[in-house]
């Protein structure tokens, strides 16, 4: 695979100062990139990691900011700016240390100065900007013993403040919250607070968001969007509303619901079934595996008897923070369930919290009862694997469904049939019921916008009998990566002519197109002056890590080794006079060394079976523009890059 790229450089000249702007278009067609919010603002200090807590419910396990400044603030000249932050530390931190706050600002992204002392010294920043334009703000929070430095320093993310002369009205607003569940328990272990924030259209609307809630007895919110749940045990759903009052007297608003509760939800289960209790408000993204040390104890209480420990797990995985009962019986009705969170590293006077209760209601047995077991196999791969998930399925594969039905009830079921969703272009090859090929009239294939529905008629299904269904299909028309979920649904009528349904286990097929595709993005470089000699020019932040320059989607099933090469095919030539060359060359930097891209240069390579990942570079790595010692002649220059994928032999 070969991709070609046109590189263009334009030089703009004025009477006194000559500026040079270089930009490189790394797509097959020239595009114009619109201005958007700055995604990688400059900083004085590298921002510290955010605070972490055990799955969002435990105490802070890694100290840091729990509330960062917003990335962007848009205000009108002369109006007050308020930036709110918050730092929380682990229970084992030295609380004798005193917090010191220092705000820094920069207007040119290079020089940073402390904010005026009248506005400095707090975790929040309040000031009234006096000039139009863009200013960057960053907070340094240090913990010290007075007159001696001891402890930690935390650096916030950077807030970009754009000050406008005229108001910009919001056409709409969207409300978000960092958490959707809050505990109504007075404990430093469970999460009882979160933050609301908003995004508007256009993104640079200049009016701030006003916050309110519909049920202040459940939760309250302050002017900064800080939401606090009640600690009186009241549960329910509270609606958080953000409103923007524009200067043109228009009003826009949006709302989001969050749940306030005791951490567990009441459950129902039919006799003979299991019930599952899960702690609410968990967040696997917040887990700090190195500092967990948390035990979850589950208790059951029948009537007014003493609570019984039924499960205990230390540092459980995020998918194991639940308790599943045994098959329930009538005597389990109205039993209560609790979960105790024990934190070993917390302060001794507050190292545990008991959440709940949740009540179990036992329902009568659901009769009739049809048990469904289903598996899928990729016959094309010639493996013995049979399960509920298939990966890397491609065009032409032959898949087999094996479905076992058992009528585990005391009564027959009449007019029985099953339905199975299939991918939109799936082709039916064979269908067998109890090893006998069925007639075309015994199944029906219908199509909707999303998929096909296969219906297979089974007629009568005798009590305590089993049916086996075999379906062979062929995969067709897979053009992109796609995940397809389906389940077997059983339908029928009981002897009283009441409808009965039962659902089987979930089946998942992950399709791929068996191809590698690549999309090359535009490259833009920092402006250069005409008299800059023997110097490097870097790409702008939008072209640096974490942003991808070449987006690669490797969906090959058999991943042979590949190499990616880059080459500059020609010098930068003047558009009006191709004999005029730009005194600059493109270099590829890898570490401290570089290679001229006039040579075919290896960018990346993979081994057998390895996915070819997208390409991205740090600022000082990858293609950089080197300005030579001669002054360029103003004009438009262009060159061409070749990106080439080649099979590699290992």
- For residues 141 and 635, what is the distance between their CA atoms, to the nearest angstrom? 50
Architecture of domain 172-261: Sandwich (2.60)
pLDDT tens, residue by residue, 591-613: 999 999 999 999 999 999 999 99
Write down the CATH superfamily of domain 267-363. Answer: Immunoglobulins (2.60.40.10)
How far from 84 is each of 113, 124, 127, 156, 222, CA to CA, in Å?
Answer: 20, 4, 12, 11, 12
pLDDT at 228: 96
Contact 60, 152 (CB under 8 A): no
The contacts of residue 472 (CB under 8 Å, 6+ apart) are 379, 398, 399, 400, 401, 428, 429, 430, 431
pLDDT at 627: 85
* Bridge partners of residue 23, in order along the sequence: 8, 524
Fold match between domain 172-261 and domain 370-511: yes
155-181 burial, b at 16+ Cβ within 10 Å, e below that, comes to bbbbbbbbbbeebbbbeebebebbbeb
pLDDT beneath 70: ranges in the chain? 1-39, 54-59, 91-92, 94-95, 147-150, 283-292, 345-350, 366-367, 496, 528, 649-650
Please give the structure tokens belonging to residue 17.
């100062």
Contact 558, 612 (CB under 8 A): no
| Closest C-alpha among 649, 554, 594 to residue 1 | 554
> What are the backbone angles phi and psi of residue 441, rounded to the nearest 5°?
-75, -10
- For residues 78 and 71, what is the distance between their CA atoms, to the nearest angstrom? 21
The contacts of residue 168 (CB under 8 Å, 6+ apart) are 74, 202, 204, 205, 206
Contact 198, 175 (CB under 8 A): yes
- For residues 302 and 511, what is the distance between their CA atoms, to the nearest angstrom? 49
Handedness of CA 640, 641, 643, 644 (dihedral sign): positive
pLDDT at 48: 92
DSSP string, 370-413: EEEEEEEEEGGGT----BSEEEEE-TT-EEEEEEEEEE-SSS-E
pLDDT tens, residue by residue, 20-63: 233 333 333 323 233 345 568 899 999 999 888 766 666 677 88
pLDDT at 59: 64
pLDDT at 245: 96
| Closest C-alpha among 335, 334, 338 to residue 355 | 338
Look at the chain and count its residues.
650
The contacts of residue 15 (CB under 8 Å, 6+ apart) are none
CATH number of the 370-511 domain: 2.60.40.740
* Bridge partners of residue 588, in order along the sequence: 595, 623
Contact 138, 43 (CB under 8 A): yes
HEC assignment per residue over 198-238:
EEEECCCCCCCCEEEECCCCCEEECCCCEEEECCCCCCEEE
- For residues 356 and 298, what is the distance between their CA atoms, to the nearest angstrom? 10
67: three-class secondary structure by DSSP: strand
DSSP string, 101-165: EEEEEESSSS--EEPPTTT-SSSSEEE---SSEEEEEEEEEEEEBTTB--S-EEEPPPEEEEEES
- For residues 616 and 603, what is the distance between their CA atoms, to the nearest angstrom? 11
pTM: 0.52
For the chain, helix, strand, coil in percent to 5 are 5, 50, 45
Find tokens 């191809």 and name the residue: 515
Find tokens 């103003």 and name the residue: 634
- Going from N- to C-terminal start, the domains of the chain cover 52-164, 172-261, 267-363, 370-511, 515-647
Strand 98-106 versus strand 113-114 pairing type: antiparallel
319: three-class secondary structure by DSSP: helix
Q: What is the dihedral of CA 201, 203, 209, 212, to 10 degrees?
A: 50
pLDDT at 23: 33
| Closest C-alpha among 321, 301, 320, 298 to residue 310 | 298
pLDDT at 11: 36
Third-level CATH fold of 52-164: Immunoglobulin-like (2.60.40)
- For residues 595 and 622, what is the distance between their CA atoms, to the nearest angstrom? 10
- For residues 369 and 502, what is the distance between their CA atoms, to the nearest angstrom? 8
330-347 burial, b at 16+ Cβ within 10 Å, e below that, comes to eebbebbbbbbbbbebbe
């Amino acid at each position: 695979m070969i991709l070609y790229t046109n590189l263009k450089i334009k030089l703009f000249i004025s009477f006194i100062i000559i500026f040079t702007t270089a930009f490189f278009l790394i797509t097959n067609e020239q595009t114009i990139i619109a201005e958007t919010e700055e995604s990688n603002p400059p900083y004085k200090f590298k921002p510290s990691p955010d605070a972490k807590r055990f799955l969002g419910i435990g105490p802070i396990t890694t100290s840091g900011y729990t509330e960062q400044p917003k990335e962007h603030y848009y205000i009108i000249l002369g109006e007050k700016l308020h930036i709110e932050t918050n730092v929380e530390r682990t229970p084992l931190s030295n609380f004798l240390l005193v917090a010191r706050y220092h705000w820094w600002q920069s207007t040119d992204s290079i020089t940073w100065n402390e904010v005026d002392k009248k506005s400095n010294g707090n975790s929040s920043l309040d000031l009234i900007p006096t000039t139009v334009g863009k200013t960057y703000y960053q907070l340094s929070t240090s913990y010290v013993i007075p007159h001696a430095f001891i402890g930690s320093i935390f650096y916030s993310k950077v807030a970009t403040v754009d000050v406008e002369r005229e108001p910009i009205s919001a056409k709409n607003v969207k409300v978000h919250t960092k958490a959707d569940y809050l505990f109504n328990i007075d404990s430093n272990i469970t999460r009882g607070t979160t933050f609301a924030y908003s995004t508007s259209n256009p993104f640079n609307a200049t009016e701030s968001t006003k916050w309110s809630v519909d049920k202040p007895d459940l939760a309250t919110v302050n002017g900064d969007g800080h939401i606090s749940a009640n600690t009186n045990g009241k549960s329910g759903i509270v609606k958080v509303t953000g409103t923007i009052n524009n200067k043109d007297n228009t009003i826009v608003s949006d709302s989001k619901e969050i749940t306030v509760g005791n951490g567990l939800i009441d459950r129902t289960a039919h006799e003979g079934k299991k019930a599952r209790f899960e702690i609410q408000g968990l967040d696997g993204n917040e887990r700090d595996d190195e500092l967990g040390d948390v035990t979850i104890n589950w208790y059951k209480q029948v009537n007014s008897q003493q609570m019984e420990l039924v499960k205990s797990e230390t540092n459980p995985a995020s998918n194991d923070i639940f308790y599943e009962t045994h098959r329930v019986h009538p005597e389990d009705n109205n039993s209560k369930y609790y979960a105790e969170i024990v934190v070993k590293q917390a302060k001794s006077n507050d190292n545990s919290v008991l959440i709940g209760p949740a009540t179990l209601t036992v329902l009568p047995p659901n009769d009739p009862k049809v048990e469904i077991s289903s598996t899928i196999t990729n016959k094309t791969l010639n493996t013995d694997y049979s399960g509920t998930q298939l990966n890397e399925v491609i065009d032409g594969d032959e898949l087999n469904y094996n479905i076992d039905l058992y009528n585990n009830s005391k009564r027959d079921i009449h007019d029985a049939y099953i339905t199975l969703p299939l991918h939109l272009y799936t082709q039916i090859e064979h269908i067998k019921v109890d090893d006998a090929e069925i007639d075309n009239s015994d199944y029906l294939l219908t199509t909707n916008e999303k998929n096909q529905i296969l219906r297979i008629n089974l007629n009568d299904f005798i009590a305590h009998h089993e049916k086996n269904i075999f379906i062979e299909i062929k995969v067709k028309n897979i053009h992109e990566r796609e995940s397809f979920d389906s389940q077997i649904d059983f339908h029928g009528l009981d002897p009283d002519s009441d409808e009965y349904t039962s659902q089987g286990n979930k089946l998942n097929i992950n399709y791929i197109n068996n191809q590698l595709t690549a999309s090359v993005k535009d490259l833009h470089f920092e402006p250069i002056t005409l008299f800059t000699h023997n110097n490097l020019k870097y790409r702008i932040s939008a072209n640096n890590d974490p942003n991808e320059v070449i987006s690669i989607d490797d969906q090959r099933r058999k991943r042979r080794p590949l190499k990616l090469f880059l080459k500059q095919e020609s010098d930068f030539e003047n558009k009006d006079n191709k004999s005029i060359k730009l005194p600059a060359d493109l270099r590829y930097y890898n570490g401290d060394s570089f290679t001229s891209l006039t040579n075919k240069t290896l960018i990346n390579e993979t081994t057998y079976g390895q996915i070819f990942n997208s390409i991205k570079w740090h600022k000082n790595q990858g293609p950089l523009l080197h300005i030579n010692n001669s002054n360029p002649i103003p004009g438009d220059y262009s060159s061409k890059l070749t990106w080439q994928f080649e099979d590699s032999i290992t």
